């Protein structure tokens, strides 16, 4: 199983969804580390309670020294033998050097149907725009913010009277469904990128079925 780190900054509900999927020994990724850039991230306690190793690299301690911050993160990832990185509510923009280092092995979940509404406050902006469909996207990370080949998306309706919180909760339920699925495709080596688009191939036949 591919040793995977989940990077968080807060609540960690997507992290919890990934942990719960990875509890199945047949799941192709093992969550070997939960790394937070904030010591007060609630997700850290959830991870520790689930018996998963945790680490904190406080971005605040680096005062704009992004290279130093990322070097400290890289050291933690290396120390835990990580081969795949999943951003789950990780609220720092990564440098092109970091993204390049992890190219094809760095995945993110974003709470909108990209390329609509990159950035922050996606639910507020979806409501302000009057869209009838909203949702979430799992994508490989490339250098631009909230850009990169799309692995999975799920759409939800925007309902009359929706508040940002109500819409966020409807989207979040879909995030918890599609993120474990998309991470599994990547960890199983089923994702190819061609001309900037991700192709998900069929699962390899299990050895037993070939006999």
Q: Which residues are catalytic?
A: 110
Nearer to ligand GAR, 111 or 148 (CB): 111
- Distance CA(70)–CA(51), nearest Å, equals 25
Q: Which of 38, 46, 110, 134 binds ligand GAR (CB under 6 A)?
A: 110
Total interface residues for ligand GAR by CB under 6 A: 14
Residues ≥6 apart with Cβ < 8 Å to 165: 123
Q: Is 54 in the site for ligand GAR (CB under 6 A)?
A: no
Q: 153 forms bridges with which residues in the sheet?
A: 137
Is residue 152 within 8 A of residue 175, CB to CB? The reply is no
Read out DSSP for 30-71? EEEEEEES-TT-HHHHHHHHTT--EEE--GGGGTT-HHHHHH
Is residue 177 within 8 A of residue 88, CB to CB? The reply is no
Q: Which of 34, 37, 32 is nearest to 3 (CA)?
A: 32
Stretch that binds ligand GAR, among 19-27, 76-84, 108-116, 202-210 (CB under 6 A): 108-116
Q: Which of residues 6-45 bind ligand GAR (CB under 6 A)?
A: 8, 10-14, 43
Provide the annotated binding site for (6R)-10-formyltetrahydrofolate.
66, 108
Q: Which of residues 145-174 bind ligand GAR (CB under 6 A)?
A: 172
Nearer to ligand GAR, 9 or 187 (CB): 9
Nearer to ligand GAR, 8 or 34 (CB): 8
Provide the annotated binding site.
12-14, 66, 108
Q: Which of 105, 104, 64 is nearest to 82 (CA)?
A: 105
Closest distance of CB 205 from ligand GAR, Å? 34
CA 60 to each of CA 30, 41, 57, 70, 91: distance values in angstroms, whole numbers, following the listed order: 29, 13, 9, 12, 12
Q: Which of 109, 141, 182, 183 binds ligand GAR (CB under 6 A)?
A: 109
Q: Which of residues 83-102 bind ligand GAR (CB under 6 A)?
A: 88-89
Nearer to ligand GAR, 120 or 159 (CB): 120
Instruction: Return residues touching ligand GAR (CB under 6 A).
Output: 8, 10-14, 43, 88-89, 109-111, 172, 175
């Amino acid at each position: 199983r591919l040793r995977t780190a989940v990077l968080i900054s807060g609540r960690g509900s997507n992290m919890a969804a990934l942990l719960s999927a990875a509890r199945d020994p047949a799941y192709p990724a093992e969550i070997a580390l939960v790394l937070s850039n904030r010591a007060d991230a609630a997700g850290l306690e959830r991870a520790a309670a689930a018996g998963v190793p945790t680490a904190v690299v406080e971005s605040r301690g680096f005062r704009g020294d992004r290279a130093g911050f990322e070097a400290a993160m890289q050291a933690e990832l290396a120390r835990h033998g990580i081969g795949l990185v999943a951003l789950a509510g990780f609220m720092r923009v990564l440098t092109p050097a970091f993204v390049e280092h992890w190219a094809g092995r760095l995945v993110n979940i974003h709470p909108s149907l990209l390329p609509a509404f990159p950035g922050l406050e996606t639910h507020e902006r979806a409501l302000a725009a009057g869209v009838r469909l909203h949702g979430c996207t799992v994508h490989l990370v490339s250098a631009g913010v909230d850009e990169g080949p799309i692995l999975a998306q799920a759409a939800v309706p925007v309902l009359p009277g929706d508040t940002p919180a109500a819409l966020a909760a409807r989207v979040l339920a879909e995030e918890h469904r599609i993120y474990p699925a998309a991470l599994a495709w990547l960890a199983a080596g089923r994702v190819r990128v061609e001309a900037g688009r991700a192709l998900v191939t069929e699962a390899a036949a299990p050895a037993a079925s070939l006999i």
